[in-house]
Amino acid sequence: MSVSSLGVGSGIDLQTLLQNMVSVQKDTKVKAYESKISDYKSEVSAYGAIKSALETFEKAVESLNDEDLFTGRTATSTQPESGDIVSVTADKEAANGSYNVSVSQLAQGSRSVSSAGLFSSTDDVVSATGGDLTFTAGSDTFTVSVAAGATLSEVREQINDSTDNFGVSANLVDDGNGNVYLTLGSDVTGSGNDLVVTNTDATLDSVSSVATGAGSAGLSIATEDAAQDAIINVDGITINSSSNTFENAVSGLTIKALAQSETGTDGNPETAKSVIDFDTESVKETLESFVESYNALFTTFDKYSSAGDILNGSSLIRGLEGQLNSNLMTTFTNAGDLSTIFDIGIEMDDDGKLSLNSTDFDDAMENSYDDVVTLFTGDNGIASIMDSYLENFTGSSGVLKDLSDAAQTSADSKEEDKENFEYRIGLYEAQLKKRFSNLDVLLAGLNNSGTALLTSLSNLNQK
């Protein structure tokens, strides 16, 4: 006979006995595996967080170690009351100082207009035979092919729609007195860069500035509509440019003319004053980022190494904290009146957190700029010292990546051990269940035999 559930045949709770025997072998061991796996995964998380914080701090250090940070310049412009006339930007080649700038003339492109009486309607036919129109301004050129019988409106559309058009805008103007004018505006600025329109057929002379036939060309440029340079005056020196942007007319400066200067009360053109100085604001922002990332790094150290935390007692963290603090305290003898970074406004509280005193920083930047540069940059600067140390721990080949990988490998190994153990426990449970099942069948058989015997004896007695 067979039984469908342990204990049914024998009346004994064999299922509970089976579970208890498996639990004794399994539970403690599985919990030990899971605890160890959890510890390894916590280490992976901790090393990852520290690596991330360390790399953020490393970026701030690298920014401070960039000499370009300290060679940057700013241009601060004071405009006349009439409005903005120039914008000025400075690069590291600019010299500190101030400049007075006035604008005598803005650059402009040329404008051609057809003569009166040539066209009375936008539907007038321009050429009966057709031909090519070529538009040139400076070094730019493009050509459109005009079909026989093309109207003035169609020619305008061809010009504006040409994919090679370098900046020529064609328009039609009706004066209301029976005249329609073709106007061509060119974006190409600079003296000598007037728009020139030539053709391959004399019938197109009416929409050209150079005639092919014996007659006159239809387009002309008024004196005030000619292409012209921009002209500015910097500290009494007149400077021309083919565009409104003056690149390196003054070393390191880009000056853009925005509007022509109005005449001041003294009878002279109004000026804008531009002051060029070190870009101390960028230095300050970078130093504040350094302070912020340093504090965040040490907060991360505390989070994972305090009593009861996964990296409590870690020699790695103790070493990092000690070395970074030591680097921070570096004393310099080649930075003038500055001997440590605490002389430029860096302050440390009782908890080891850094802050930046803006007043002290501004004083140091104003009075000891070159010495500030010495403190941070170069082979012996504090940023270089820290950067050299940090690169051992960060990146894809750094110590923290190795430690994280090792912890992950250990976690994976323990996970595999746990799975193998649970497999063996499964086999053990299956063996026990089979034995208990056989025992249940045996006991059930004995119970049935005993019941039958008692029944037979009872029947005999009744006889």
Question: Do both 354 and 447 map to the same domain?
Answer: yes
Point out the domain boundary residue: 225, 243, 266: 225
**Per-residue pLDDT tens over the stretch 209-233:** 999 999 999 999 999 999 999 999 9
- Is there a domain that residue 206 lies in? yes
Greater pLDDT, 457 or 216? 216
How many angstroms separate the CA atoms of 368 and 366, rounded?
A: 6
- Nearest Cα neighbor of 335 from 364, 370, 311, 304 is 370
Question: Do both 298 and 446 map to the same domain?
Answer: yes
Question: Do both 294 and 413 map to the same domain?
Answer: yes
Question: Do both 396 and 420 map to the same domain?
Answer: yes
For residue 143, list its beta bridge partners: 134
Beta pairing class for 237-241 and 354-356: unpaired
Question: Do both 289 and 416 map to the same domain?
Answer: yes
- Is there a domain that residue 463 lies in? no
Question: Do both 326 and 447 map to the same domain?
Answer: yes
Mean pLDDT of 448-452: 63
State phi, psi for 432 to the nearest 5 degrees: -60, -45
Point out the domain boundary residue: 213, 244, 278: 278
Tokens representing 297? 């790094």
- Nearest Cα neighbor of 104 from 282, 236, 248 is 236
**Per-residue pLDDT tens over the stretch 185-199:** 999 999 999 999 999
Instruction: State yes or no: pLDDT of 3 exceeds 60.
Output: no
Q: What does the DSSP 8-state code read for residue 180?
A: E
Encode 44-82 in three state secondary structure: HHHHHHHHHHHHHHHHHHHHHCCHHHHHCEEEEEECCCC
Question: Do both 401 and 335 map to the same domain?
Answer: yes
- Is there a domain that residue 203 lies in? yes
How many angstroms separate the CA atoms of 454 and 64, rounded?
A: 100
Question: Do both 165 and 311 map to the same domain?
Answer: no
How many angstroms separate the CA atoms of 205 and 182, rounded?
A: 13
- Is there a domain that residue 459 lies in? no
Residue 8 pLDDT class (50, 70, 90 cuts): low
- Is there a domain that residue 460 lies in? no
How many angstroms separate the CA atoms of 103 and 246, rounded?
A: 12
Instruction: State yes or no: pLDDT of 388 exceeds 90.
Output: no
Full domain range(s) for residue 260: 73-107+229-278
Instruction: State yes or no: pLDDT of 178 exceeds 50.
Output: yes
How many angstroms separate the CA atoms of 196 and 183, rounded?
A: 13
CATH of the domain at 164: 2.60.40
Question: Do both 360 and 244 map to the same domain?
Answer: no
> What is the secondary structure of 360-394 as a DSSP string?
HHHHHHHH-HHHHHHHHSSTTSHHHHHHHHHTTTS
Instruction: State yes or no: pLDDT of 431 exceeds 90.
Output: no
Question: Do both 78 and 42 map to the same domain?
Answer: no
Question: Do both 236 and 155 map to the same domain?
Answer: no
- Is there a domain that residue 268 lies in? yes
Strands of 106-227 (E only): list them. Answer: 109-114, 131-137, 140-146, 168-174, 180-189, 196-199, 219-221
Provide the whole-model pTM.
Answer: 0.70
Q: List, in order, residues 6 or more apart from 210 with CB less than 8 Å away.
A: 196, 197, 198, 199, 217
The total of structural domains in the chain comes to: 3
Mean pLDDT of 53-59: 93
Q: Calculate the CA 197 to chain-centre distance.
A: 47
How many angstroms separate the CA atoms of 108 and 282, rounded?
A: 36
- Is there a domain that residue 462 lies in? no
- Is there a domain that residue 148 lies in? yes
Helix (H, G, I), strand (E, B) or coil at 247: strand
Question: Do both 159 and 208 map to the same domain?
Answer: yes
Mean pLDDT of 57-69: 90
